[in-house]
Amino acid sequence: MHTLTEEINHLKKERRAIILAHNYEPPEIQDIADITGDSLGLSVDAARLDQPVIVFCGVRFMAESAAILAPGKTVLLPRLECGCGLADMATAHALRSMRRERPEAVVVTYVNSSAEVKAESDICCTSGNAVNVVRSIPEKREIIFVPDRNLGAYVQAQTGRRLILWNGACPVHDAIRAADIIKAREKHPEALVMVHPECRPEVTQLADGVCSTGGMSDFVRQSHAQEFIVATEEGMLYPLRKAHPERIFHPVSQDSPQRMICPDMKMITLKDLRDALKKMEPVITVNPEIADRARSALERMLAVPRN
Ligand code: 13P
Ligand code: SF4
């Protein structure tokens, strides 16, 4: 009788597959993955990997980006219904209408969006490179920023550029209030506060560091502090605690009725992962014409220097 982990490792070899997992995935999924990381790191990996099969443990837009950046490879998403509440807030149709009203504007689209929306965009960004992406656009060009108004507001504050913001937000990050940060600081006065840029401007303004999930790992590595308050989806606590068992991490939502949990990031189980490798499905495919246009926007993003 083999354990699920043994079966997955055996099938992985047989299929010449590699498993990628986002930082918010459950601990057992992160532990079995070959690579874990944030959206930017995982897209870069998807584009450079040699394996013919990528099993993406994350949400649909991430697996779609991998399929777009690695044409010819098979990308599996173990649970097809893993979506993203933020990505659902923009449609290609609505973006086309906005573009018609402002034909001169450059459209910068956060990767938390569908392939169809990316295909209508000039350049993509992630939470890890949004500031650099906007800085790479000539000053005189007007910019439409899609779909996260909070990330857009953060980029606006960092770059001094006025952006036209799409009215979308992540339901998990947008629910955190400034009062939650103030309360957590009172409780843990020695701790540094790390906030994801999908949080509201009045929340990011209270942070010691505003970072993507990968950026939070770097922030902790470079800091001498012993204690941190973490304002992002609670899954992020696992990689932080694993990498730094001697330090203390407090989820900001620990004592709040508003826990920071993204249900879509908690769906994939080891059994789903085993079944995906066994049946080689569900496969993520993107219409080739949409994929070509979305790839241009993603590749322009990847060409922007990372500091
Ligand atoms: P990161 O790119 O920071 O990993 O964030 C992805 C995401 O979905 C945040 O909610
Ligand atoms: Fe989307 Fe928010 Fe979940 Fe991230 S945490 S995948 S932005 S719904």
Pick the atom of ligand 2 nearest to 59's CA: 6
Q: What domain count does the chain have? A: 3
Q: How many CA atoms lie within 13 A of 80 on its CB side?
A: 6
185 and 230 in a common domain? yes
Task: Using DSSP, state whether 144 is helix, strand or coil.
Answer: strand
CA of 1 to the centre of ligand 1 (A): 38
23's tokens: 């930082």
Question: Token pair 């204690």 is at which residue?
Answer: 227
Tokens of 164: 């036209």
Residues 144 and 222 in one domain: no
Residues 253 and 269 in one domain: no
Rounded Cα gap, residues 237 and 26, in angstroms: 10
Q: What is the three-class DSSP state of 110?
A: strand
The tens place of each residue's pLDDT in the chain, 307 residues long, gives 689 999 999 999 999 999 999 999 999 999 999 999 998 789 888 888 999 999 999 999 999 999 999 999 999 999 999 999 999 999 999 999 999 999 999 999 999 999 999 999 999 999 999 999 999 999 999 999 999 999 999 999 999 999 999 999 999 999 999 999 999 999 999 999 999 999 999 999 999 999 999 999 999 999 999 999 999 999 999 999 999 999 999 999 876 777 899 999 999 999 999 999 999 999 999 999 999 999 999 999 999 987 6
Give residue 263 CA to ligand 2 midpoint distance, Å.
9
- Which residue carries 């994929």 as its tokens? 291
Give yes or no for residue 83 CB within 6 A of ligand 2.
Answer: no
Q: Are both 124 and 176 inside the same structural domain?
A: no
Amino acid 202 reads E
Cα 307 to Cα 303: distance, rounded to the nearest angstrom: 12
- Judge if 176 and 254 occupy the same domain: yes
User: Ligand 1: which atom is nearest the Cα of residue 262?
Assistant: 10
Residue nearest to atom 2 of ligand 2 (CA): 170
| Domain CATH code at residue 224 | 3.40.50.10800
Look up tokens 């066994």; give the residue: 278
User: How high is the pLDDT of residue 175?
Assistant: 95
156 and 299 assigned to the same domain: yes
Which residues constitute the domain of residue 208?
Answer: 172-261
Please check whether residues 76 and 121 belong to one and the same domain: no
Ligand 2 centre distance from Cα of residue 169 (Å): 9
- The answer to whether residues 91 and 33 belong to one domain is no
Ligand 1 site: residues with CB under 6 angstroms? 23, 38-40, 112, 126-128, 170, 198, 212-213, 233
* pLDDT score recorded for residue 255: 67
In the beta sheet, which residues pair with residue 109? Answer: 124, 146
Do 190 and 161 share a structural domain? no
Same domain, 98 and 55: no
Shared-domain flag, residues 146 and 209:
no
209: Cα within 13 Å, side-chain hemisphere: 23
- The answer on 151 and 298 residing in a single domain is yes
Query: What are the beta bridge partners of residue 35?
Result: 20
